[in-house]
Structure 1
Amino acid sequence: MHDTIPVDEIMVEDVVTAPPDATATDAATLLRDEGVSSVLVARDGEPVGIVTEGDFATQLCERQDLGHVELSAVMSTPLTTVESTASIVDAVELLRSSDIEHLPVVDGGDDNSELVGIITTTELTYYVPHLAHAPSRLEAAPTHRQVRTDTKYERDDWEFEYRSADESTISAGDIARFSKPITDDDVEAFADVTGDTNRLHLEDAYAAETRFGKRIVHGVLANGLISAALARLPGLTIYLSQESSFRAPLSIGDRATAVCEIVEDLGRSKYRVETVVLDGDDTTVLEGSAVVLIDDLPAMATHEGDAAATGSPD
């Protein structure tokens, strides 16, 4: 639905502008008097740059004589713009990819564009809050919580459960479950980090022509949830081996759950683990087995856990 709403339906039409030879003082006065957060710099009606409240904060840190400096020297350029006929989804993606919060709206091509409005994250928040506020460059990722001694941080949309007669030790029959949503950002980040940029995972049109009919999560990314579950077993988990068979594709946006059951104590702190990853409908995505070595946590982690439990900083 949102990709059918054009930008010109929600843009602000009364754009505050100033010429390139106006001073920073002129622009600051416009910001104050007009109650806006940006001034478009336009030459003969064509937008060539922008000055925002953030730009003023940055420039004030670097210049002592900012007031008399011309806008051409401090404006952000080249200017990222969006066509008035583009969808608001396109606008969100432009804001994200360009790491900006103000997007001038134009009619016409690059060589003959006319400024007709401006759209910001504020307008997008009103109309499409779940798009404008999705985890992206526009805002911080989900909050990290440091609640365990064996992991650096946790997130609110991650879930972990450990079923054991004694949660401080490991024995056959123990089960660990780790669950998280696999987002589009996860898939793109995994592709970039590993170099696995198979278009099946990254391009909708391409994936639509495959047997899957849509983009799917990398199989190895799904397999990584097993590592996440094992990392939260009592002690310091060290992978020794992993065998996996892929049974079904995992859809992007689905919530995946890794289930790891300790099935055998191999001695010398080694354990055999049966592993399964399920999608949101409890369909088995992959299954296999692993062998892990469980060492004691480093003394530093144990000390930090004791301090957290007592509320002591030392």
Structure 2
Amino acid sequence: MHDTIPVAEIMVEDVVTAPPDATATDAATLLRDEGVSSVIVARAGEPVGIVTEGDFATQLCERQDLGHVDLSAVMSTPLTTVESTASIVDAVELLQSSHIEHLPVVDAADANGALEGIITTTELSYYVPHLAHGSSRLEAAPTRRQVRTDTKYERDDWAFEYHSADESTVSVGDVAQFSKSIDDDDVEAFADVTGDTNRLHLEAAYAAETRFGERIVHGVLANGLISAALARLPGLTIYLSQESSFRAPLSIGDRATAVCEVVEDLGRSKYRIETIVLDGNETTVLDGSAVVLIDKLPPMATHERDAPATGSSD
């Protein structure tokens, strides 16, 4: 989806510029008065360099007379630019490969590369936060660890707690908690797998016009954390039913926690569970109840449980 969005759609068109013979004081004043983080140095409308807040910090450490120095002497050049017709994925790749945060946008049809706007990691983070803040999902994913017999793997950024008098069995009063952050990658993957591509979850500009004012996590995706907590109850958990009421939106990037309390033994290894999901501020996002069947672990899993831990990872 991102490779179909051109830079021109999200760039800032009102670019703050200064000529090469302006002083560093002039540029610093522009940064302050215009409330921006960079000034494009332009000659006859053609961008030739850039001065950022970071540049000023670096130059102040090296010069005592910075205020009267021409921008041509302190600006970053040659300038890395992107054409307005390029996709925002192209822009992210340029920012990352060049180790910069500001990217002037030029007119692809102009031989001189006339300045049209600027795009920064700030604008990009509204659309592709997982791209704008570093490497790919695969590279950034926490290490998988095989530490349980009832789950295929765990991740370092997941947390599970089980409060019980006997952690080898399920009894009334036991409480299981599972928490993880639900990020943009999770939301996009869920939309792609399920087909729920409601723009409220995927497009910042669209979501801003709704009652929520921002993109939010799919309600069913938040509900999935309950399933994750129940999967880690002692034994082989089989989901029989789930009733949920959605109480509040969950913001993308928030860390959510599912809390599941065993409230009734229904007999024949069936249990009723009270379920809630909390956001990072401990606001109830959803609540409800579930019924599960707890079987014994398969013989292979029992053997694995009794074997020495290997700590394997993939």
- Where in structure 2 are the equivalents of 1:233-312 lying within 5 Å? 233-309=233-309
Over aligned residues, Cα RMSD in angstroms?
3.6
Moved more, 254-263 or 301-310: 301-310
Secondary structure at 2:161 match in 1: strand
- Where in structure 2 are the equivalents of 1:1-314 lying within 5 Å? 9=50, 83=82, 93-94=92-93, 107-109=106-108, 131-136=132-137, 139-309=139-309
1-structure distance, mates of 2:159, 2:50: 40
2-structure distance, mates of 1:9, 1:162: 54
Q: Percent identity?
A: 71
2-structure distance, mates of 1:160, 1:218: 22
**Counterpart residue identity of residue 242, structure 1:** Q
**Counterpart residue identity of residue 167, structure 1:** E
1:238-270 superposed Cα distances (whole Å, 9 cap, x missing partner): 000000000000000100000000001111110
Residue 69 (structure 1) aligns with: none
* 1:304, distance to aligned residue in structure 2 (A): 1.4
* 1:162, distance to aligned residue in structure 2 (A): 0.1
Secondary structure at 2:308 match in 1: helix
* 1:133, distance to aligned residue in structure 2 (A): 3.0
2:84 and 2:108 in contact (8 A); partners too: no
Q: 1:308 to 1:112 in 2, by over 3 A?
A: farther
2:84 and 2:107 in contact (8 A); partners too: no
Secondary structure at 2:201 match in 1: helix
* 1:298, distance to aligned residue in structure 2 (A): 1.0
**Counterpart residue identity of residue 269, structure 1:** S
**Counterpart residue identity of residue 159, structure 2:** E
Q: 1:239 to 1:82 in 2, by over 3 A?
A: farther
Normalised TM-score (structure 2): 0.62
**Counterpart residue identity of residue 92, structure 2:** E
Q: 1:153 to 1:95 in 2, by over 3 A?
A: farther
**Counterpart residue identity of residue 151, structure 2:** T
Secondary structure at 1:308 match in 2: coil
Secondary structure at 1:152 match in 2: coil
1-structure distance, mates of 2:105, 2:112: 6
- Structure 1 gaps of 5+ residues are 11-80, 115-128
Residue 123 (structure 1) aligns with: none
1:212-246 superposed Cα distances (whole Å, 9 cap, x missing partner): 11110000000000000000000110000000000
What number of residue pairs does the alignment pair up?
Answer: 221
Normalised TM-score (structure 1): 0.62
1:92 and 1:132 in contact (8 A); partners too: no
Q: 1:109 to 1:281 in 2, by over 3 A?
A: same
1:52-103 superposed Cα distances (whole Å, 9 cap, x missing partner): xxxxxxxxxxxxxxxxxxxxxxxxxxxxx961789xx86663469xxx9689
1-structure distance, mates of 2:221, 2:81: 34
Secondary structure at 2:214 match in 1: coil
**Counterpart residue identity of residue 296, structure 1:** K
- Structure 2 gaps of 5+ residues are 1-11, 13-36, 41-46, 52-79, 114-129
